[in-house]
Structure 1
Amino acid sequence: MREVRELREKSSEDLISELDRLRAELVLIRSKTVAGGGLEKTAQIRNMRRRIARILTILRERGIKL
């Protein structure tokens, strides 16, 4: 819950930039996994996807569609 509160305090521009950063990082992690390099932290992908979903939810609540 603390994470959601912190996200809600950020501006929309900050959320969009963090969303772009997380999506790019997720692509890199997935490409490493496909290339045969295993993940040390398997929950990392799931946590990143959830954080992306939280950011998108907050942006949509504010009326910003991406």
Structure 2
Amino acid sequence: MKINVYVEDLKKKSAAELNNELVAAKKELFNLRFQNATNQLDNTSRIKEVRRNIARIQTVISEKANAEQ
């Protein structure tokens, strides 16, 4: 249920907002990987969650691009 709300929220955003969100998620993933490499990360499942969110954002971006064509 929580994921569906997140996806619906993504679908309401513009392409520029989605790109900004994608950049922010990729930065977060980089920081999480860095923390994991230095053994500072407590919640390692967050990496998986952020990777899936990146995939969701990219899916919505491609859906919007296909809808425009």
Counterpart residue type for residue 58 of structure 1: V
Note the 1:1-40 alignment, pairs <5 A. 1-37=4-40, 39-40=41-42
Q: Verify the 8 A CA contact 2:22 2:54 in the aligned structure 1.
A: yes
Provide the C-alpha distance between the structure 1 equivalents of 2:27 and 2:65, rounded to a whole number of angstroms: 24
Aligned-residue CA RMSD in angstroms? 1.3
In structure 1, the gaps of 5 or more residues are: none
Could you say what secondary structure the match of 1:62 adopts? helix
| Identical-residue share of aligned pairs (%) | 33
Extract structure 1 runs of 4+ deviating beyond 2 A: none
**How many residues are treated as equivalent by the alignment?**
63
Q: CA deviation at 1:42?
A: 2.0
In structure 2, the gaps of 5 or more residues are: none
Scaled by the length of structure 1, the TM-score of the pair is 0.85
Scaled by the length of structure 2, the TM-score of the pair is 0.82
